[in-house]
Amino acid sequence: MKVVLFCGGLGMRIRADNQSAPKPMTMVGERPILWHIMRWYACHGHTEFILCLGYGAAAVKNYFLDYREEVSNDFVLSNGGADVELLSSDFSDWRITFVDTGLNTPIGERLRRVRPYLEGDEVFLANYGDVVTDAPMNEFIAELPADHVGSLVAVQPTDSFHVLGFGPDGGMTGLEPVAGMDMWINGGYFVLRQGIFDYLNPGEDLVGNAVVRAAADGRFTANKYTGFWAAMDTLKERAVLEELHASGHAPWELWRRNEPLPSLVEPLPRVLNL
């Protein structure tokens, strides 16, 4: 199944002033987070990717054109360094389509511009390119209702800010950490049908426009997931991912352990019709 990855954003809250690469190229360990996401999809059997490029497109292209399997795989070096024998591979079965979708293009329009490369695929996947999870993606694919044009993974926010409560007189009555509230947000992982394009007009956003319209028609689903999920919008969030990677127990790195694909964390009901 094809995977559309949106990787043309500036990432203003995490990038350095002189950084020319888009946020999905921010490193976690020895590989960019974009690679981590692609490797995660590959562990679920999805190895055909369409990259929606924008800002820093050359950095993405050059990374894969100059890709070194030896960085993340064991190998044998012989003949004075002339011969390299890989003992494993993470890249050989990937097929990647690189599409320049514009510098300041909304995500929905980026998706529209790669539609020609999705012909023949009634169902496809999409991802923001800066979030990682250990969610059971193949179960979400299998459980997409036949009359729905898509679904997204709904997660609870991990932010550390607090929500204030106020009484009728305007006085503060309390405060509650947002992470402890019964609140669900878009986790950035999508399962989509071709029908999503019926709700998406030129120049629009995917979530703010198309998903809202489809949900109003009862044709979009949110899968509540309470397992691991993490975004990488800030340097603090990147540091957390770096620490998890360095520990050798990063939940999204399925390729580092010989285990079956993850199952759902919470029992049904878990599907919301938005």
Q: How far apart are CA 209 and CA 95, in angstroms?
A: 30
pLDDT digits (tens, 9 = 90+) for 4-49: 999 976 654 445 444 568 889 999 999 999 999 999 999 999 999 9
Phi-psi region of 213 (alpha: psi -120 to 50; beta: other; left: phi over 0): alpha
Beta strands (DSSP E) in 30-136 are: 31-32, 48-53, 75-78, 83-86, 95-100, 123-127, 131-133
At 223, the amino acid letter reads N
What Cα–Cα distance (Å) separates residue 114 from each residue in 49, 59, 104, 167, 240? 11, 20, 16, 50, 33
pLDDT band for position 259 (cuts 50, 70, 90): low
pLDDT of residue 82 exceeding 60: yes
Please state which CATH class domain 2-73+82-273 belongs to: alpha beta
∠ CA 46-47-53 to the nearest 5 degrees?
A: 110
**How many CB atoms lie under 10 A from the CB of residue 36?**
21
Chain centroid offset of residue 35 CA: 11
> pLDDT over 90 for what percent of the chain?
64
| pTM for the model | 0.86
End-to-end CA distance of the chain: 25
